[in-house]
Amino acid sequence: MAADPGTLIDWSLLALSPPGWGGVLLGGLLNSIKIAVGGYALGLALGTGGAFGKLYGGPVLKDLLEVYTTLVRAIPELVLILLLYYAGTDLLNQMLAAMGYGPVDISGLAAGIFVIGVVQGAYSTEVLRGAIKAVPAGQIEAARAYGMSPAQIMRRITLPAMLPHAIPGLSNLWLIATKDTALLAVVGFSELTLVTRQAAGSTKAYLLFFCAAGALYLALTLVSNVVIRIIEARARRGMAATA
Amino acid sequence: MSGETSTIEVTALTDLPSGRDLLKPHRIALIAIAAVMVFCIAWFMRWDWLPEYAGRLAQGVWVTLLMLFSTASLGFLFAVPLGLVQVTGPWPLKMLAKGFCTVIRGTPLLLQLWLLYYGLGSLFPQYPEIRQSFLWPYLREAWPYGVAALTISFAAYEGEVMRGAFAGVPAGELEAARAYGMSRWKVFRRIWLPRAVHRALPTLNGETVLQLKSTPLVATITVVDVYAVISKIRQTTYLTYEPLLFLALIYLCLTAILVVAFRTLENKIPTRGA
């Protein structure tokens, strides 16, 4: 270690009030969580639609979804984020211009949620498709025999029955979503990783700030793990324990 | 155990869409639409920068591949003891390996990369012993930090996979090997490791694809991989979409090659039954 650790670690830098950067870091963490939650929710919506489309849709829809999931899973998130960020804002502004409105400044938050959501959608499509396929066909046929409409079958049978199969994959995706928010630092959205870098750059205490941010991310993951375990136990209640 | 590995398999791209039934009527229509789109992209967008930068792009692809294969193989070397220790090791080592995997898997790779590059990189010059060592010329470059971060990350993710794979090898096989009078090391070398690697191969495929998708992050610490070359092109030509689309195409091809190569490798290993 260094000769004088007192000069190496200056804890007052992490203070919550302005001379310290603690408040800025927590604000960044909040932004990260916002994007992760929004993107994850959007991804789940896309994934549910995608999974049902892939399993029960027409041939054209199936092929288009296959192209979507394959492309998103084959191209690095960083490249996708740049492409979607520029293409998304550009398209929106062009559409608004065509409708006679002026260009709008799209908030980083909305763009981030859109980008993370599109990426997550491809992965959750695959997770949910696998989970739906694990539901015994007899249960769905029985529901149909009762005269339920497809929407009713989805709401009452397929979605609840597939949940225990989907939860391991979905919780994995949530953890990926929280970590993917860090990539938005590259397009300049001030989430945790970028504000950490700014804080570190202006105080030169690189190691301290990156470790602090790492601890925040780790805390987020560990808390998520606890919550996931509770949800999983609830979703699996009444099922035989698998070894 | 099996649930854990299968989730990774689901999320990573390990299989290409099959080319069967390629010529159904609706597919022909879709292919025609795609062809028109590709033609429009090729015709109406600007591609005149491509020949000028072809050499540098090839160099960038080479750096990306170098990063991928060096970190994947180094990471795998670390992953084997990491997984093994979590299955059979004494508890202090077990906790240590588990803690390492949890910390690395719980934080974003970009943060780890910046921690190593900016954090350690700013710390090293303060020590004259390091500045005078033979490693100093390398430590002043960016790529060792990139390799280190990617290796650590791959080792942590793959260590978790190897733990499951080692634990999943049937105990009877190991007992049979012991009954043949093999030493512990020989059992490991001949039975345990090959069986575990075989079990982990599909997941390894997924992890390698994910690793390829992580390599562009090293461009943020000034390593000139293909992503950095494209960024440079975007800065000098003021084009937004064309270089990024081309970059996506490059990664698409690399992923496809990787997936096909792993599939061939998996098919070469004979399996009985399942």
Mean pLDDT in residue range B130-156 = 85
Strands, E assignment, chain A: none
A239 and B CB contact within 8 Å: no
CA distance to partner chain B, nearest, from residue A145 (Å): 32
- Domain locations along chain B: 2-11+70-218
Q: Is the pLDDT of residue A8 over 70?
A: no
Q: Is the pLDDT of residue B274 over 60?
A: no
A186 and B CB contact within 8 Å: yes
| pTM of the complete model beyond 0.80 | yes
Q: Is the pLDDT of residue B220 over 90?
A: no
What pLDDT is recorded for position A146?
Answer: 93
Higher pLDDT, B120 or B156: B156
- Return the closest-CA partner of residue A82 out of B253, B60, B247: B247
Q: Is the pLDDT of residue A2 over 60?
A: no
Measured from the Cβ of residue A87, the count of other Cβ atoms closer than 10 Å reads 14
Mean pLDDT in residue range B101-114 = 90
Do the chains contact at A214 and B12, CB–CB below 8 Å? no
What pLDDT is recorded for position B48?
Answer: 82
**Which of A169, A185, A206 is closest, CB to CB, to B118?**
A206
Strands, E assignment, chain B: none
Q: How far is CA A141 from the centre of its chain?
A: 33
Higher pLDDT, A120 or B26: A120
Provide the percentage of residues in chain B whose pLDDT is more than 70.
Answer: 92
- What architecture does CATH give domain B2-11+70-218? Orthogonal Bundle (1.10)
B58 and A CB contact within 8 Å: no
pLDDT digits (tens, 9 = 90+) for B35-94: 888 888 878 778 888 888 888 899 999 999 999 999 999 999 999 999 999 988 788 999
pLDDT category at A4 given cuts 50, 70, 90 is very low
Q: Is the dihedral of CA A32, A34, A40, A46 positive or negative?
A: negative
DSSP A70-133: HHHHHS-HHHHHHHHHHHHHHHHHHHHHHTTPPP----HHHHHHHHHHHHHHHHHHHHHHHHHH
pLDDT category at B123 given cuts 50, 70, 90 is confident
What pLDDT is recorded for position A10?
Answer: 67
CA distance to partner chain B, nearest, from residue A216 (Å): 9
Do the chains contact at A83 and B248, CB–CB below 8 Å? yes
Top-ranked range on mean pLDDT: pick from A3-17, A87-101, A104-118, B95-109 = B95-109
Q: How far is CA B2 from the centre of its chain?
A: 21
For tokens 């195409």, what's the residue?
A: B249
How open is the CA angle A14-A15-A20, to the nearest 5 degrees? 75
Mean pLDDT in residue range B2-15 = 53
Mean pLDDT, chain A, whole residue set? 84
What pLDDT is recorded for position A124?
Answer: 92
What kind of fold does domain A17-235 have according to CATH? Answer: MetI-like fold (1.10.3720)
A217 and B CB contact within 8 Å: yes
CA distance to partner chain B, nearest, from residue A79 (Å): 7
Q: Is the pLDDT of residue B4 over 50?
A: no
CA distance A55 to B260: 25
Interface of A with B in 115-174 (CB under 8 A): 123, 126-127, 130, 168-169, 172-173
Mean pLDDT in residue range A117-130 = 91
pLDDT category at A7 given cuts 50, 70, 90 is low
Do the chains contact at A77 and B26, CB–CB below 8 Å? no
Which of A8, A71, A78 should one mutate to test binding to chain B, selecting the residue with the greatest count of B CBs within 10 A? A78
**Which of A123, A183, A201 is closest, CB to CB, to B110?**
A183
B20 and A CB contact within 8 Å: no
Reading the block at residue A179, the tokens are: 């970590």
- Return the closest-CA partner of residue B63 out of B250, B235, B248: B250
Do the chains contact at B114 and A210, CB–CB below 8 Å? yes
Provide the percentage of residues in chain A whose pLDDT is more than 70.
Answer: 89
Q: Which residue of A has its CA nearest to B259?
A: A74
**Which of A63, A75, A217 is closest, CB to CB, to B251?**
A75
Do the chains contact at A75 and B252, CB–CB below 8 Å? yes
Helices (H) and strands (E) in chain B, counts: 14, 0
Do the chains contact at B7 and A207, CB–CB below 8 Å? no
What pLDDT is recorded for position A49?
Answer: 92
Higher pLDDT, B31 or A13: B31
Q: Give chain B positions within 8 Å (CB) of A74.
A: 13, 209, 251-252, 255-256
Mean pLDDT in residue range B228-239 = 88
Mean pLDDT in residue range B178-198 = 91
Mean pLDDT, chain B, whole residue set? 85
How open is the CA angle A238-A239-A243, to the nearest 5 degrees? 135
CA distance B46 to B57: 17
CA distance B259 to B253: 10
